[in-house]
Amino acid sequence: MLNYQFKDKFLLLEAFTHKSFKESFTLTAQYEKLEVLGDSILDYLANSNLIKYTILEKYNLEERMNQTHITEEDFQPFDAHNAKSMLTKNYFLAKLVCLFGLHRYILYHRPLKQLSLKELREIAAKEQA
In terms of pLDDT, which residue wins out, 114 or 100?
100
Instruction: Indicate the range of 8-12, 44-48, 58-62 predicted with least confidence.
Output: 58-62
Q: What is the pLDDT of residue 62?
A: 66
pLDDT digits (tens, 9 = 90+) for 26-50: 767 777 888 888 888 888 888 887 7
76 pLDDT band (50/70/90 cuts)?
low
Every domain of the chain and the residues it spans: 89-129
Residues with Cβ within 8 Å of 34's Cβ and at least 6 positions away in sequence, in order, are 11, 14, 15
Q: Is the pLDDT of residue 79 over 70?
A: yes
Q: What is the pLDDT of residue 63?
A: 64
Q: Compute the half-sphere exposure of residue 112: CA atoms within 13 Å on the CB side of its CA.
A: 0
Taking only Cα atoms into account, the Rg of the chain, rounded to an integer number of angstroms, comes to 19
> What is the percent of the chain with per-residue pLDDT over 70, rounded to a whole number?
71
